[in-house]
Structure 1
Amino acid sequence: MRDRRLAVVLAVALAAGVGACGGTGYAEGARAGERGAAPSAQAAGSGTRAAAEAPRPDQPIPGSAAALARTLARNETELRAAIDAWVRDGDPGKGRPPEPVVLHALYQQRIYRHLARDPGLSARVTDRLPSRLARDVRAEVAALRDLFALTRPISGPVRFKVREPEPADVLLKHFRRAERRFGVDWEVLAAVMFSETKFGRVRSPSHTGALGPMQFMPRTWAAYGMGGNVHDTGDAIMGAANYLKASGTPRDYKKALFAYNHSNRYVNAVWTHARQMMRDRRNFYAYYNWQVFVLTTKGDRRLTGPGL
C-alpha cells in the first residue's frame, strides 16, 4: 500500500487509541453471520438513568490502581449495556449514537491511553481485573503502544480536516459487501479503517499523499480501486478488500496487512482490533465511538467528540 512512512495522518488517526471491550458479565458474540450477543438485562434500564451515570467528557481518571481497576470494569459494563440498548431500541444505521454510548466510549479511550503510557500502572490495574477483562486489557494496551510508536508529535498549529463518520451500520454493510466479494473478513477491513482514519473521521491526506478513508497512495488506488472514487467510503473499502486479497488474504492476513503498511507494530495492532470484533460484534460499535486525538509536542489534543 505505502512505503515506510511516518505520516502526519498517523499522528492523528493512530494516536486516537484503541479500547478493550471484553468487560465482565458479557457473552461473546458468534463468529459468523450471528456475530454479536443478545442485549443484556442491564441494558433494559431507561435512557435517562444511563445518561445520568455516564462520565463527563473531562471525567477524572482515578490515581490509584485499585480505584482505576474498579472504574475501568464498571465503565466497561456500562458501555456494553449502552451499546445493547442502542442496538435494541435505536438504529445504528441512522443518525448519531446516543450520548451514553459516546461518553462511556470516550472515557474508556482516555483510560486506555493513560494505561498505555504507564506500563507499571497498567500491570497493577490488570492484576486486579477479572481474568477475561484482564486478557483483553493487556492485548489492547499492547496494541495502543504499538500504534503510539508509529506516531510523531506534531509541533506548531494543528490543522486537520475531520468530520462525523457515516452511521455505524452503513459502514458495516460496506464491510460485509466487500467480504462477500473478496473473502476478506469484515472485521479486518473495519480494523484497517479504524486504525487509518478512525472510520473516516480524519479527512486530511497524509504528507506522502495517501488519500481517502482507507489511505491509498494514488498509484495503488489506480491499480486496485476498480475505477471508484478514493474518497467514497464504499469504493475505498472495496478497494482495500481487493488489495488485501491480492496481498495474501485469507491465507495469510498478517502478510497482507504488512503489505498494507510495512510495520509489524501496525500489523499486530490491526490484528488485535480485528480479533476483538470477531469475538463480539459489540466491539465494533465501541471502536466506532473512539474519538480523534492528535499527539502534539505539548500533549494530546482531542479534535472530535462531546464537549468541543
Structure 2
Amino acid sequence: MVASLVGLAVALSGCATSPSAAVPAAAGQTATRPAAEQSATPSAEQSAPQTPAGQVPGLPAPDVAIPTDPSRLARSLTTTTAQLRRAVDDWVSDGDPGKGQPPEPVVLLALHQQRIYRYLVRNPKVAARTYARLPKALAGPAKDNVTAGRNLRSLVRPISGAAKFRVQPPEPADVLLSHFRRAERKFGVEWEVLAAVMFVETKFGRVRSPSHTGAKGPMQFMPGTWAAYGMGGDIQDTRDALLAAANYLHASGAPRDYRRALYAYNHSQAYVDAVLLHARQIKQDIRNYYAYYSWQVFVVTTRGDRRLTGP
C-alpha cells in the first residue's frame, strides 16, 4: 500500500499494492525555508568545516568533518548525543515545541548526530568497532539507528542526474505529537509507530513531491488507497493523513500485529524492521522523537550523500 520512504534521507514508492522497488533517493525539507523546489545533483556531501556567521560557539558546524577512527567516532557520538539530549530538554522546558522550529543547538547537534550515523551506515566494519567503544547505554540505540539506516539504504537506488524535490517546513513538533496521539486514541495504533512511519516516509512532512508511483501527502498514499481509508479527508493535510494511516494500519492488523500491518503499508521486511527500530527508540526516550524531528533530509547520489535541507 504505502511506501514513499524518506527516512535517512531516502525515498521509496508510495501507497501501492505491489512490493516496493528500489527508486531514486528523495529529499525532505528544511526547518527554515518556505515550500520550494530544491535541486539535487550527484555531488558528494561537503566535509570541510564551515561555521556560519552568528553561530553559537561550541556547536558543531553543519559540515564539519566526521571522524573516521572508531575511538574518535565513539567519543564524538557520545558527546553529541549527551549534548543533544540536554538541548532537547531545554527546548521542551524553556522553549515551545508547539510553535516554530527547533532552536539552533538542537538543529546543529541533531544534524551532527545524524551525519555520524550516516557515516556508520556506509561503513559497517567501522561501525562494528565503534559499538565496542561506546558506553553500554548508547551502544544499543546506536545499533538500532545504524541497522535501521542500513535497511532503508538497501531500498534506494542512488540518483545519477539532476532531480528536483518539492519541500516545505514540517508542522511544529508538539503539533505533530498531538496529531499522533489523537490518531492513537481513535484507532489504537501506538503514536510512536505512526511517528516512525512519518519519519521514514517524508521526514515528518518535509517532502511534498509525489513518489514515482504517484503516492501523495505527508504519509504517502496512493489515490485508490486514500479513497478507501482517507475518510473523506484531504490527502495533503497532516492530521487527515495521520488518521488515515492509523485507520489503514488498524485494518491491516495493528496493534495486534505491527509487522503484518507495516508490511501492508510497504511490502518490504527491511522497511518494517526500520520503522519498528525507530519506534522502539522513541518509546525508550521521547527525546529521540525530538531528535528525529530535527534530522535533515539527504539525497543519495552516485557520488555520495547530498544534504538538501538544514543550516
Secondary structure of the residue aligned to 1:52 is coil
Deviations along 1:235-284, one digit per CA (max 9) or x if unpaired, are: 00000000000000110011000000000000000000111111111110
User: Which residues of structure 1 form unaligned runs of 5+?
Assistant: 15-49
Deviation at 1:299, TM superposition (A): 1.6
For 1:130 and 1:257, how far apart are their aligned partners in 2? 32
Secondary structure of the residue aligned to 1:160 is strand
Partner of 2:5: none
1:5 pairs, out of 20, 34, 53, with 20
Output the amino acid matched with 1:11.
A
For 1:267 and 1:51, how far apart are their aligned partners in 2? 39
How many residues are treated as equivalent by the alignment? Answer: 271
Q: CA RMSD in A?
A: 1.5
Alignment of 1:281 onto 2:286: yes
Q: Is the 8 A contact 2:208 2:217 kept in 1?
A: yes
Partner of 2:91: 86
For 1:51 and 1:181, how far apart are their aligned partners in 2? 43
Output the amino acid matched with 2:259.
K
Deviation at 1:63, TM superposition (A): 2.3
Secondary structure of the residue aligned to 2:306 is strand
Output the amino acid matched with 1:184.
V
Could you list the runs of 4 or more consecutive aligned residues of structure 1 that deviate by over 6 angstroms after TM superposition?
Answer: none
Alignment of 1:298 onto 2:267: no
Secondary structure of the residue aligned to 1:211 is coil
Partner of 1:110: 115
For 2:96 and 2:171, how far apart are their aligned partners in 1? 13
For 1:88 and 1:175, how far apart are their aligned partners in 2? 21
Output the amino acid matched with 2:219.
M
Partner of 1:52: 57
Q: Is the 8 A contact 1:7 1:208 kept in 2?
A: no
Deviation at 1:288, TM superposition (A): 0.1
Q: Is the 8 A contact 1:210 1:218 kept in 2?
A: yes
Q: Is the 8 A contact 2:193 2:275 kept in 1?
A: yes
For 2:21 and 2:26, how far apart are their aligned partners in 1? 11
For 2:261 and 2:172, how far apart are their aligned partners in 1? 27
For 1:143 and 1:63, how far apart are their aligned partners in 2? 21
Q: Is the 8 A contact 2:234 2:241 kept in 1?
A: yes
Alignment of 1:183 onto 2:188: yes
Q: Is the 8 A contact 2:27 2:308 kept in 1?
A: no
Query: TM-score by structure 2 length?
Result: 0.85
Query: TM-score by structure 1 length?
Result: 0.86
> Cα–Cα, structure 1 residues 13 and 246, in superposed 2: closer, same or farther, change >3 Å?
farther
Q: Is the 8 A contact 2:20 2:268 kept in 1?
A: no
Q: Is the 8 A contact 1:13 1:196 kept in 2?
A: no
Partner of 1:27: none
Alignment of 1:263 onto 2:268: yes
2:230 pairs, out of 221, 225, 231, with 225
For 1:255 and 1:164, how far apart are their aligned partners in 2? 31
Query: Between the two proteins, what is the percent identity of the paired residues?
Result: 65
For 2:56 and 2:192, how far apart are their aligned partners in 1? 29
Name the one with the larger helix percent.
Answer: 1
Alignment of 1:237 onto 2:251: no
Alignment of 1:272 onto 2:277: yes
Output the amino acid matched with 2:224.
R
Output the amino acid matched with 1:238.
L
User: Which residues of structure 2 form unaligned runs of 5+?
Assistant: 2-15, 29-54
1:76 pairs, out of 67, 72, 81, with 81
Deviations along 1:5-46, one digit per CA (max 9) or x if unpaired, are: 3364x72259xxxxxxxxxxxxxxxxxxxxxxxxxxxxxxxx
